[in-house]
Amino acid sequence: MTPSRRRLALLAAAATVALTGAAAGPAHADPPPDAPEQIDNGDFSAGVSPWFSYGTGPLGVTDGRLCTTVPAGLANPWDAGIGQDGVPLVAGAEYALAFDVSATPGTAVRAVLQLGSAPYTAYTTVDANATGTAARVEHTFTAPAENPSAQLIFQVGGSAEEQTVCLDNVSLRGGDPPEPYVPDTGPRVRVNQVGYLPGGPKNATVVTEATDPLPWQLRAADGTVVASGDTDPRGVDEASGQNVHTIDFTAYRTPAAGLTLVADGETSHPFDVSGALYDRLRADAAQFFYAQRSGIEIDGDLLGEEYARPAGHVGVAPNQGDTEVPCQPGVCDYTLDVRGGWYDAGDHGKYVVNGGIATYQLLSTFERTKTAATASFGAALGDGSLPVPERDNGVPDILDEARWELEFLLRMQVPAGQPLAGMAHHKIHDRQWTGLPLQPHDDPQPRELHPPSTAATLNLAAVAAQCARLFAPYDGEFAERCGTAAKTAYAAAKANPDRYASPADSTGGGAYDDTNVTDEFYWAAAELYLTTGASTYLADLTASPHHTGDVFDPRGFGWQSVAALGRLDLATVPSGLPAAERARIRASVTEAADAYLAEIERQAYGLPMPGDAGSYFWGGNSNVINNAVVLATAFDLTRDPSYRNGAVQAMDYILGRNALNISYVTGWGEHAAENQHSRIFGHQLDPNLPKPPAGSLAGGPNAALQDPFAAQLLAGCKPMFCYVDDINSYATNEVAINWNSALTWIASFLADQGEAGAVPPATCAVTYTTHGSWPSGFTTQVTVRNTGTTAVDGWSLKFAFTGAQKVGHGWSAKLTQAGATVTATSERWNAKIKPGGSVTFGFNGTSDAGANPKPGLFTLNGSPCTS
């Protein structure tokens, strides 16, 4: 951590104690007067951050001092502490540690500068007797070891009485002044380090001082030149501040491994051209969620032995468990079993609003397979496709993974008979922030439920409604439970439309506050309508200003802006909307995609995001991908390859075509992020712990520099350079479930594109007519017409239902069903369909009382038909 330089003022009433001898260790010469300060926010003028505590009450700043209460009767001094991570030590350097401390009624306080993980080796220890009068403690020492990220802990436990302990003017001066940070950006030719699809766009960026076009060469692994041309000068890029040229080598389409681009005397990182580039990323991105699971032992045989760990937060000491969690004081008088779910990000908190969008995107990844022509009805997402414990249970693995979070979300609902019944608690997390690293099963902090919020309740309503229709073919009981919870939550939110999470509720976990929930109401109403077909939800969603408003922001959507989720599903999920209304909704998606394509053209690094500082924010990489999701959806709707090309180019930026020449996805690319902020994956701080698993996405450049480490290291950075691959930078380099859910969705889409070849015209058309329906069933007739120029000899027609519908007796075709997907194959006597000819078959079906719209995709012998 680079130092912040602050003048430390002694309290007028403070005594000064110079510590030497056994308790403090040998005395040493003072460091020089200009020695750098290594403690951040030691005077607490910036509030509590980045300080954390454990075993204490909430941290707060009172009269300029950091204060907390410490419960009586803790057995050991180390059972409660106040600390800061990321303190750099230089072996053999002189340091001066100083602080003001007081305690009422009075207790011993021990300051320990130590290794921040087992075996917690102490570099120096200072004992002080704190009383009601603040005392100044000063101590000099020589660092016995090198550690770029040590931990300073004030141990405050062990008193028989409750204590109020306060700190001020904490300082550690010494060591070397920081060297200017210069990122290693590698070769000046920036490419997608994973590679390019044979039929897709292929673009690169060259950083150069040249203003005229430069020659470039594409070289095979053996050095042979396989393509060449001239660069396109683009001038100074706003987001990076670099003078750049672009290279377009789209015309090269031959699959190959180990290709490089050469321009201006520089050779790019190697990459491949292949139609199978993204097959493994689809699984890697999704397996991140298993690694983040709470409440279950992580099986090393599934994820890799280095990731094996005991179940976290199940009540096994030192955990206090998630099986019987009380509310914050004054919030409720009950406890809830809220085990399971995913740890949200780099901490151990679980948040309904972030869990909502993340679960939605996993469910949407699967639901897309019912309507997207390239998705093959989910063959690549089926049972056995992911390393999850539930594999081989007859349910698509991505639904199994989503269910782990869904079960948690359902448990967060306020029980019947309680105040605010049906609403959802906003979040559950530790009472105090914990340090890095910390495995979930080692977390000693008490856990608390935070107040219910309207936003959380509507997130629950939306994803539970999705759950009801997607799980219906696999687990009717669970689907019904989800549907009931969704309706109950939506009604509770309408009865409590303005219960907002407090922006100040950020001790021990993120606030996730949101005071505009009109978008959540729109999204929830859309999902409930798509599942039930009920007119009440249709009325609510059409009355929303978001229904006809522009819901696609140039900077993407996220947990705080979810109207786009409702719009995307209304555009893609089959429903009873009038044809003209559905066409208008679909047009809004393609209009947004057109705007993102225009932005890609404007940006020299080819991403669908503006280049100003305001477009580089916390977790912005996920917003870049979410804009790619809109582009991909536009392709699914229109089959226009320009939209697919835009989605592909957005991933070029994520995987290396950027100013830092880094892939933001672990394990993917020659130079990829590997030190993401996480208490679980703390290898950078503790070599005994693993790095984040392959396929985890870093938050990305954040021009606001909202963590102390980044603020000190990157001050004055151009937006695209406001990132550091260091575990201490939570504002640029954290992991999060809603970022990996976006990556999972787009990776699945890209894997489905294969070589991204030309889109063939449809050669068939389907008419699907339901002639009669009743509460438990329906009768449907299907006509398939050959619109091509050659005869079809033997046919197989596939389509998928939206929910629990099942085919029964059929005629003029052999009918089978797997999950929601139906396959109708020809009889011997109607196998041939001449050009211009048609065949008709029919069936009786059973259904529940939910929606029963016409399926959204029909394929004839694997090729999509118009309908």
Residues with catalytic function? 347, 677, 725, 734
Alpha helix locations (H) across 603-727? 620-638, 641-654, 708-713
Measuring CA to CA, which residue among 498, 629, 470, 492 is closest to residue 558?
A: 629
Hey, how many other C-beta atoms are within 10 angstroms of the C-beta on 166? 24
In angstroms, rounded to a whole number, what is the distance separating the alpha carbons of residues 152 and 41? Answer: 13
Q: 424 forms bridges with which residues in the sheet?
A: 413, 453
Phi, psi of 213 (to 5 degrees): -55, 145
Q: How many residues does the chain have?
A: 867
Strand bridging mode 135-142 / 15-18:
parallel
What one-character DSSP code corresponds to residue 351? E
Q: Which amino acid is at 91?
A: A
Hey, how many other C-beta atoms are within 10 angstroms of the C-beta on 12? 6
Residues 6+ apart with CB under 8 A from 301: none
Give the dihedral of Cα atoms 837, 843, 847, 852; nearest 10 deg: 20
Residues 6+ apart with CB under 8 A from 44: 51, 61, 64, 65, 66, 167, 168
Residues 6+ apart with CB under 8 A from 111: 97, 99, 125, 126, 128, 137, 152, 153, 154, 155
Q: How many Å is the maximal CA-CA distance in the chain?
A: 101
Hey, how many other C-beta atoms are within 10 angstroms of the C-beta on 686? 16
Residues 6+ apart with CB under 8 A from 365: 286, 381, 398, 744, 745, 748
Token pair recorded at residue 464: 């539970």
What one-character DSSP code corresponds to residue 727? T
Bond preceding residue 452 cis, omega within 30 of 0: no
Phi, psi of 786 (to 5 degrees): -85, 110
Sheet with 122-130: list strands edge to edge.
52-54, 81-89, 147-155, 107-114, 122-130
Bond preceding residue 389 cis, omega within 30 of 0: no
Three-state secondary structure string covering 37-68: ECCCCCCCCCCCCCCEEECCCCCEEECCEEEE
Measuring CA to CA, which residue among 460, 464, 505 is closest to residue 482?
A: 464
CA distances from 173 to 6, 15, 32, 44, 166 (A): 10, 20, 9, 17, 21
In angstroms, rounded to a whole number, what is the distance separating the alpha carbons of residues 307 and 114? Answer: 25
CA angle, 239 then 240 then 241, to 5° = 105
Q: Is 644 left (phi over 0), alpha (psi -120 to 50) or beta?
A: alpha
Residues 6+ apart with CB under 8 A from 22: none
Q: Which amino acid is at 844?
A: N
Question: Kind and range of the H or E element at 408?
Answer: helix 397-411
Measuring CA to CA, which residue among 642, 549, 651, 541 is closest to residue 590?
A: 642
Q: What is the 3-state composition of the chain as percent helix, strand, coil, each rounded to the nearest 5?
A: 25, 25, 50
Determine contact, residues 186/268, Cβ cutoff 8 Å: no
